[in-house]
Amino acid sequence: MRVLGIDTSARIGAVGYRAGGRTVFSEQLAIKPGGSEQIPVLIEEAFARTGHHLRELDLITVGVGPGSYTGVRVGLAIGKGLAFGLGLPLVGVPSLAALAMNGRSEAALICSLAKSRQGEVYAGLYRNTQGFPVEVAPPAIWEVPRLAAVLKEEGRPVLFLGEVLDEIGQDLAAALKEAASFGRGPENIVDGANLAALGEAKWERTQTNELDTVLPLYLRRTEAEVRWAERSCRADV
């Protein structure tokens, strides 16, 4: 199967292409805030450099977050546009699950992290089994001290992954001490080929085209929705 993977949920976007069960292309690039023009260009480069063509694809896979609200919407818009234009099925995959695939298999727990707002993080817990993530706890919003306290009570070693470790890694290390280990370099960035592999596995399991149904994995209402609700409440008074 030939699968394209796209993730734009974090500061570093990812594009990956798998064919016949192997990685043909995988690359990441920094995404400017609110910008989307780099990802279509990278997709074009992926196929130009590998001698393949978009028409060869069988499936589009997109990371649905959680992460940047704008970023997730951008990735879905790109993926849906490609899937519709090429007449292909599309599936959505949690970005934190794809990130967990970077974790070493011997890790007792893998905690995938993404930056949220107001000093919080998105976190999901996984085990890496035969190269694929098994969900232990679904993505949720955590204050960092509370997350550290819960994982400390768990009493098992935890491997943390994610770009946000640049900001909170020291806090987690201080709280969990020797129980905490941390991803290095590329391990903290979603791999587009891993995302494609998860999408392929999901498609083989469900055979469900999510082109018209896939939604971003938002764990709280967007700021626009909150403001809209506030205006509505004031109008009703």
62, 112: one domain: no
Looking up residue 25, the CATH number of its domain turns out to be: 3.30.420.40
Q: What is the pLDDT of residue 69?
A: 87
Give the model confidence (pLDDT) of 36-46 as tens digits: 678 999 999 89
As a whole-number percent, the residues of the chain with pLDDT over 70 amount to 91
Confidence of residue 86 (pLDDT cuts 50, 70, 90): very high
Tens digit of each residue's pLDDT (9 = 90 or more) over 161-189: 999 999 999 999 999 999 999 999 999 99
Contact 94, 61 (CB under 8 A): no
Residue 48 pLDDT: 92
Q: Using an 8 Å Cβ cutoff, are 236 and 56 in contact? A: no
**Are 31 and 74 contained in the same domain?**
yes
Q: How many domains does the chain fold into?
A: 2
* pTM of the complete model: 0.91
Summarised one tens digit per residue, pLDDT across range 100-136 is: 999 977 788 999 999 997 779 999 999 988 889 999 9
* Domain assignment of residue 33, given as a range: 2-95+189-221
Q: Is the pLDDT of residue 50 over 80?
A: yes
Q: Do 195 and 79 sit in the same domain of this protein?
A: yes
In this structure, are 56 and 120 located in the same domain?
no
Claim to verify: residue 26 and residue 88 sit in the same structural domain: yes
Going across the sheet that includes 12-19, the strands are 22-30, 12-19, 2-7, 59-63, 90-93
Q: What is the pLDDT of residue 33?
A: 64
Residue 6 sits in the same domain as residue 90: yes
DSSP string over 164-229: THHHHHHHHHHHHGGGEEE--GGGGS--HHHHHHHHHHHHHHH----TTT-----SS--HHHHHHH
Same domain for 110 and 66: no
The reply to whether 58 and 175 lie within a common domain is: no
Q: Do 13 and 61 belong together in one domain?
A: yes
Residues 85 and 108 in one domain: no
Q: Is there a single domain that holds both residue 122 and residue 182? A: yes
- pLDDT, residue 224, reads 56
Burial class (CB in 10 A: 0-12, 13-18, 19+), 61: buried
Both 41 and 118 in a single domain? Answer: no
Q: What is the pLDDT of residue 222?
A: 57
Supply the pLDDT for residue 236. Answer: 45
Q: What pLDDT, on a 0 to 100 scale, did the predictor assign at position 31?
A: 85
* 237 falls within a domain: no
**Residue 149 belongs to a domain:** yes
pLDDT number for residue 233: 46
Q: 1-10, 64-73, 194-203, 223-232: which range is least confident on average?
A: 223-232
